[in-house]
A = this chain, B = another copy of it.
């Protein structure tokens, strides 16, 4: 039941002068209903049946638009594809090194780290990122079998 969030997001887009095309609507809706921080390719494949002619570039274009407007966050991890997170509330991620699953968790923002870094380095700090890595409970129990 994320109809409300979807409508809100659409209003935000319209307010920024962005047209709501069927493809754009579908990407947005998929993101909002997804709990798994999908990659661009996962979104593309998921919408393939509904939009057989959609280009992968359209997915990337729309994800960029959403990111620039602040509707989604792009999660980048070195080697593999970016993942996209439509939960823009403050939270961190914990990532399973075995299956790749990404799970949200909340923790008070690390303002102390930012201010200390500022003092020590002379930087003007804008933000930080943090991820925790480990093995999820599913993969833990698999390995004991």
Q: How far is the CB of A128 from chain B (nearest CB, A)?
A: 4
Given contacts A78-B77, A79-B76, A121-B94, contact A134 B126 (CB under 8 A): yes
Contact with B along A123-144 (1 / 0, CB 8 A): 1111111111111110010000
B107 and A122 contacting across the interface, CB-CB below 8 Å: no
CB-CB under 8 A from A92, the residues of chain B are: 113, 117
Q: How far is the CB of A50 from chain B (nearest CB, A)?
A: 28
* Complex Cα spacing A121 to B91, Å: 13
CB-CB under 8 A from A77, the residues of chain B are: 76, 78
* Complex Cα spacing A121 to B78, Å: 24
A42 CB–B CB distance under 8 Å: no
* Complex Cα spacing A38 to B106, Å: 34
Question: Told that A107-B116, A124-B134 touch, could you supply 20 new A-B pairs with CB distance under 8 A?
Answer: A76-B78, A77-B78, A92-B113, A92-B117, A94-B125, A103-B121, A105-B116, A105-B117, A105-B121, A117-B132, A118-B134, A122-B137, A123-B136, A125-B133, A125-B134, A126-B134, A128-B130, A129-B130, A130-B130, A130-B131
